[in-house]
Amino acid sequence: MSRVPSGLLYLAIYNPTLQPKRPVDDDDEDAEEQAHILFYTSKEKAVSRDRMLRQIGLAKALVNFSALFNPNDECESVHSQSRRMILVSPEPNFWFDATVELPKKVHGSTTSKPSSKGKSKPPAPKASVETVYDYDDGTVHDIAIRSQVLQAYERFKLSHGSFTSILLELGQEALEVQLERFFTPWAWSWNLEDKPQIVEQLGVSLQPYYGSLTPLLDAFSVHIPESVAPAVFTPTHIIPSTRYTSSAYPTALAELLMTMIPPPTSPVDDPLASSVDTIREPIPSPEPNKPKSDSSSPWLPAVNMNMDVRKWNWQSYLTFGKSRNQSPEKSSSPSQDAPKEELQTDDRRQEVHVDAKSLQEALTSEGLSLVVPDGNEGEGEGEGEGEDEVEPPSDSGPASPEEEKESDALENALQLEWGTSTQESPMSSMTILPRPRAPSPPPPSFLCRRVHLAPPEDPISTQKCDIHFYVHDSMILTLISDPSLPGFTDVEEFLSVAAQHANHLLDKIQLTIQNAALARMSESLPTASKILQSPDQHAISTEQYVLQSPGFASDSGHLQNAISLFERDPDVLEVYSRGQNPQNWHIAKRGLAATPDSDDDAAVQSTQRLRGRAFLEIFKKEASLPDVDNVLAGTLRKSGVAESGLV
């Protein structure tokens, strides 16, 4: 049976408090309703105005109806047999309406039984049969869709600002244009069939050795103003400073900065393999009188398709035993001439004739002499005997005045060229000179990226903020200016001071990570139990960061349901569930923070009590509930999240 995957039916953003841009009649209610819609996109390219107004009107009616029972509890989702309507309000009076179609399968049709007497009944008249579908309700999770919509909103707010700030500063038309440009490509690149990972909903992944790396960033923070929060990012992790953690920046900012790291370059190919054309002997050009071959390859002869196959010169291993009775004298002539041609080709060498008299005159002008042995020069060249020998000039005989002048002129010329006398060779003078030191690399230059950030106490009032960053060896050092704190005036001076310590900081971070990884090498050695049994995996969320086991990847429906329980009921602190096939344990726990102070009010104590969540998957079928609880307690103790103050 064919399965139809789930997909987005339509996505809308509306504000029920907006008014029409132009005055309209009091009887024209559709104009007022249409003024509420800021953005709308549908699976069907052309949607009528009435249908769009009915869909948005249904969402507004459901929100108003649920507010009658509990004004503090907003309507979040509406379920039907074939659809899910997810309602998200990231800002006051602004609503997302994402309607999703559930995955479905065609219902199996039943076949009629044959008659017992073997007589077929007359065919019944064909009637229109409506296709019946079976909808898969358990594969679509409301909390996952809601989380993905909020992540898209945070990315939009980071690039353009909040909906409220754009509406107040630029107007409704500018807001509609920016929503159209951002959410249209995002909506139709949203693949609902990709099961969302638990880690993607919890935050950005924290570096496992953050306890040793955060003090390095805090020491670097001394050299920069207090309104700047440094942080280091890798393609998969974040290394925050204390200032960055206290500022509570959104997760979308960390995800944006991670994407700014360039991908690693591919390894350079072997230079020997890449320069084969320069090493290979050039193919000789064909002779002018020889007809050009029709073959595409220069070393393969052209094959005449009209040749008689019986006249081909088959080798002995292709004659199928017929050549054994033939005499060796009947061999074809081309096979005998081939070795001769090869011998003649090998004997051909390029001969270079040297005029001994001219060579002696040239060497004499340089203060050298040429000693030619007795005998005929032609005989020496042909047989390789009596080769020319070059000897240094002899000091035994007296030199004439003309020779001394020529020698002095040559010595002066060489001294000007090499900076040394002719008594020592130029190569020896070059080796004696000390090699100059390589110049120190210039300080790094920071680039700038402008984003929109808001203080934690007022997430709607976004302000433009400059982020200065420096990329070094698949790591990026970012300096984020806090908009809620007073800024600095001299940016160039601040960046020059930071540049002097940037390379040292990043090199020290890399060295610390390598040393920590080597120290834990013994724990990662494979054992029999690790090979035969799948290791347990966990993810601990601090509401801002995620500390996870290596290779953690889970799209468990049990954990998704646990997150939904946490959202609906604040009294739920732990959820233990177990599958049937396979019988794995899925544990979710929240409230990892230390016991709050008794001086705080009840609301603050309740908020602190629910901070921090842990998710654990145990793949031991024989594990009992006490064993699972012990594993969870040991995992939390080893992580040290509660003691580090991150929750």
Closest among 435, 436, 434, 431 to 418, alpha carbons compared? 431
Is residue 608 within 8 Å of residue 543, measured between CB atoms? no
Residues ≥6 apart with Cβ < 8 Å to 478: 230, 231, 232, 233, 257, 467, 468, 469
> Band of the pLDDT at 22, cuts 50, 70, 90?
confident
Return d(Cα 188, Cα 410) in angstroms, integer.
Answer: 81
- 3-state DSSP percent of the chain in helix, strand and coil, to 5: 40, 15, 45
pLDDT-wise least confident of 363-367, 372-376, 444-448 = 372-376
The mean-pLDDT minimum among 296-300, 561-565, 574-578 falls in 296-300
CA neighbor of 477 nearest in space, from 189, 245, 233, 283: 233
Regarding predicted confidence, which is higher, 106 or 99?
Answer: 99
Q: What is the pTM of this model?
A: 0.69
Q: Are 83 and 100 in contact (CB under 8 A)?
A: yes
Q: Is 620 helix (H, G, I), strand (E, B) or coil?
A: coil
pLDDT by residue (tens digit) across 439-496? 666 777 899 999 999 988 889 999 999 999 999 888 999 999 876 666 556 788 888 8
| Strand locations in 65-111 (E) | 77-79, 83-91, 94-101, 104-106
Spell out the residues 6+ positions from residue 27 whose beta carbon is closer than 8 angstroms to its own. Answer: none
The pLDDT score that the predictor gives to residue 492 is: 84
Reported residue count of the chain is: 647
Q: According to the model, what pLDDT value does residue 453 have?
A: 93
Instruction: Output the pLDDT for position 282.
Output: 52
Instruction: Give CA–CA dist 373/386, Å, rounded.
Output: 6
Q: For position 284, what pLDDT does the model report? A: 55
Of 80-89, 229-238, 261-270, the poorest mean pLDDT is in: 261-270
pLDDT number for residue 390: 45
Q: Does the bond joining 215 to the residue before it have cis omega, within 30 degrees of 0?
A: no
Q: Given this model, what pLDDT does residue 327 score?
A: 47
In single-letter form, the type of residue at position 525 comes to: L
**Please, are residues 241 and 221 in contact by the beta-carbon 8 Å criterion?**
yes
Which of these ranges, 3-17, 85-99, 346-360, has the smallest mean pLDDT? 346-360
Owner of token pair 């069939």: 193
Residue 40 bridge partners (DSSP): 12
- If you search the block for the tokens 């602004």, which residue do you land on? 94
Q: Provide the pLDDT for residue 639.
A: 84
Strand segments (E) across 15-63 = 37-42
Give 204-217 pLDDT, tens digit per residue.
999 999 989 999 99
pLDDT-based confidence at residue 308 (cuts at 50, 70, 90): low
Kindly report which listed range (181-195, 361-375, 477-491) carries the lowest average pLDDT score.
361-375
**Rounded CA gap, 637 and 190, in Å?**
38
CB 220 within 8 A of CB 499: no
| Cα 14 to Cα 95: distance, rounded to the nearest angstrom | 6
**Domains defined for the chain, CATH in brackets:** 3-107+132-188 (3.30.450.60), 200-261+443-525 (3.30.450), 528-647 (3.30.450)
Question: How many CA atoms does the CB half-sphere of 305 hold within 13 Å?
Answer: 2
Q: Which tokens belong to 500?
A: 């002097």
